[in-house]
């Protein structure tokens, strides 16, 4: 069986027992003797589908209950598999399939304002009002942040890790009292509210999600911050004005490669001469690569994680200057694990809101991304960007003091 050979080539440590639809067992690698991880295929065609296009066929089969995993959770199986796979491709066939997809995406994907709005609505406005309940289930209770947290050695909770992230970004922005701030991709407003409270600033947040903007406006009134913080349903290309500080956390992944230069030109236009812009984005540590097929189809349509080189080149073309760069490694895997843990602890509620397929889809989303951040090619880039040398700090003392 070709699939069994593929798995056997992957597993250098540990292993699994693979059982096909006919009940035939295959030992792949060196599975543990007691309660070995066992993967059962319940459809004959999975024998070849999982070789040709594992990135999409495996999660889809899992969602259809055509694959079962015994003696391990989905997350544990994926962690073990990706640990052994590393940054290699699963097979030559899957590599060719990904390259074809990369070419098709380049030719077909145009994140113009209307398309961008639909892509954002697919994820953040999922299920209408039900979507708001969904995010309450797994996000931190303090700020409701849907981006990578910042885990210090002594950080124990998701709430503390997200507070760490906010504080870290506030320090990098070096915000002064009374400055005018813009958040591009405001989520549910947690960071904007915290900046307004900590620094007594005027903050404007924008998003293409109706759910997010409605939530933010309501929350601003509840917190008594509606005189400091305002939110607008708008695309970054539509904003006018000048800002002392701009930051964007977890939004750049939705911009699209063809629009990177336009994005940075927009930030350059909106940023005051002595301003600071902070970009926080998921990225790949390898050369430019196509987006994950499953994530692109079911979770974030139109999304892509840029390589470092793809970020830097359009910045150079706009005349902006990268004054500080930090790569956050082993932060998002832990964040995703916490989200998955909370999500699964209340999966009955999620099933009632949506259905069993949705539960499995999002379980795979969290688990596969956690594995990719821990063992494969994903990291988070934080870039501090300025317009001139005078706006840059000479050392990092102001961040860590």
List pLDDT tens digits, range 12-46: 999 999 999 999 999 999 999 999 999 999 999 99
Comparison of pLDDT for 27 and 100, the residue scoring more = 27
What stretch of H or E contains 40?
Answer: strand 38-41
Asked if the model's pLDDT at residue 99 lies above 90, the reply is: no
Token pair 């004005």: residue:
241
Location of each CATH 3.40.50.150 domain in the chain: 113-400
Cα–Cα distance, 67 to 39 (Å, whole number):
7
Asked if the model's pLDDT at residue 92 lies above 80, the reply is: no
Asked if the model's pLDDT at residue 157 lies above 90, the reply is: yes
The predicted model gives 83-110 an average pLDDT of 62
Average pLDDT across the chain, whole number: 91
Please tell me the predicted confidence (pLDDT) of residue 118.
66
Please give the positions annotated as active site.
369
Comparison of pLDDT for 313 and 92, the residue scoring more = 313
Token pair 């597993």: residue:
11
Q: Which of 225, 308, 313, 319 is nearest to 277 (CA)?
A: 319
Dihedral angle over CA of 326, 330, 331, 337, nearest 10: 160
Asked if the model's pLDDT at residue 238 lies above 70, the reply is: yes
Asked if the model's pLDDT at residue 94 lies above 60, the reply is: no
Q: What is the 3-state secondary structure (H, E, C) of 76-94?
A: HHHHHHHHHHCCCCCCHHH
DSSP state letters, 171-206: HHHT--TT-EEEEES-TTSHHHHHHHHHH--EEEEE
Please tell me the predicted confidence (pLDDT) of residue 101.
46
**pLDDT tens per residue, range 38-69:** 999 999 999 999 988 899 999 999 999 999 99
Cα–Cα distance, 118 to 56 (Å, whole number):
22
Cα–Cα distance, 217 to 338 (Å, whole number):
28
Q: Which range has the worst mean pLDDT, 2-6, 97-101, 154-158, 196-200?
A: 97-101
CATH of 113-400, one of 3.40.50.300, 3.40.50.150, 3.40.50.2300, 3.40.50.720: 3.40.50.150
**pLDDT tens per residue, range 347-379:** 999 999 999 999 999 999 999 999 999 999 999
**For residue 342, what are the CA distances in angstroms to 68, 119, 260, 328, 354?**
22, 25, 34, 23, 17
Please tell me the predicted confidence (pLDDT) of residue 109.
59
**pLDDT tens per residue, range 163-209:** 999 999 999 999 999 999 999 999 999 999 999 999 999 999 999 99
Location of each CATH 3.30.1050 domain in the chain: 2-107
Please tell me the predicted confidence (pLDDT) of residue 184.
98
Q: 376 near 82, Cβ under 8 Å?
A: yes
With b for 16 or more beta-carbon neighbours within 10 A and e for fewer, the 96-117 pattern comes to ebbeebeeebeeebebeeeebb
Cα–Cα distance, 59 to 64 (Å, whole number):
9
Residues 6+ apart with CB under 8 A from 179: 199, 201, 202, 244, 245
Please tell me the predicted confidence (pLDDT) of residue 255.
93
Structure tokens at 369: 């991304």
**pLDDT tens per residue, range 109-137:** 555 666 666 665 666 666 667 777 899 99
Q: CATH for 2-107?
A: 3.30.1050
**pLDDT tens per residue, range 254-284:** 998 989 999 999 999 999 999 999 999 999 9
DSSP-derived 3-state class of residue 245:
strand
Asked if the model's pLDDT at residue 345 lies above 50, the reply is: yes
Asked if the model's pLDDT at residue 239 lies above 70, the reply is: yes
Asked if the model's pLDDT at residue 318 lies above 50, the reply is: yes
Q: 54 near 97, Cβ under 8 Å?
A: no
Please tell me the predicted confidence (pLDDT) of residue 376.
93
Token pair 């995703």: residue:
336
């Amino acid at each position: 069986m070709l699939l069994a050979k593929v798995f056997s080539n992957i597993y250098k440590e540990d292993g699994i027992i693979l059982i096909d639809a006919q009940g035939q067992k295959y030992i792949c690698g060196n599975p543990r003797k007691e309660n070995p991880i066992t993967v059962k295929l319940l459809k004959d065609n999975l024998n070849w589908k999982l070789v040709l296009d594992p990135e999409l066929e495996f999660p889809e089969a899992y969602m259809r209950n055509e694959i079962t995993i015994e003696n391990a959770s989905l997350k544990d199986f994926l962690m073990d598999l990706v640990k052994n796979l590393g940054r290699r491709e699963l097979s030559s066939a899957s590599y060719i399939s990904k390259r074809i997809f990369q070419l098709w995406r380049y030719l077909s994907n145009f994140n113009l304002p209307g398309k961008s709005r639909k892509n954002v609505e697919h994820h953040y406005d999922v299920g209408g009002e039900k979507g708001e309940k969904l995010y309450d289930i797994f996000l931190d209770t303090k700020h409701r942040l849907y981006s990578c947290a910042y885990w210090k050695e002594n950080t124990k909770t998701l709430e503390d890790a997200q507070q760490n992230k906010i504080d870290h970004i506030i320090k990098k922005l070096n915000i002064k009292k009374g400055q005018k701030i813009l958040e591009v991709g405001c989520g549910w407003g947690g960071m904007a509210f915290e900046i307004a409270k900590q620094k007594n600033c005027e903050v404007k947040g924008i998003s293409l999600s109706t759910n997010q903007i409605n939530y933010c406006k309501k929350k601003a009134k509840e917190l008594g911050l509606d005189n400091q913080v305002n939110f607008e349903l708008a695309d970054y290309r539509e904003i006018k004005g000048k800002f002392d500080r701009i930051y964007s956390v977890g939004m750049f992944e939705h911009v699209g490669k063809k629009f990177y230069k336009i994005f940075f030109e927009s930030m350059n236009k909106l940023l005051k001469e002595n301003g600071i812009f902070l970009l926080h984005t998921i990225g790949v540590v390898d050369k430019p690569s196509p987006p994950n097929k499953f994530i692109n189809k079911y979770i974030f349509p139109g999304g892509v994680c840029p390589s470092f080189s793809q970020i830097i080149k359009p910045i150079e073309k706009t005349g902006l200057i990268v004054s500080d760069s930090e790569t956050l490694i082993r932060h998002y895997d832990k964040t995703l694990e916490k989200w998955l843990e909370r999500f699964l602890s209340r999966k009955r509620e999620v099933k009632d809101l949506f259905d069993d397929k949705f539960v499995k889809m999002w379980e795979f989303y969290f688990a596969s991304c956690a594995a990719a951040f821990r063992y494969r090619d994903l990291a988070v880039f934080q870039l501090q960007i300025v317009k001139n040398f005078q706006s840059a700090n000479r050392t990092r003392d102001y961040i860590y003091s």
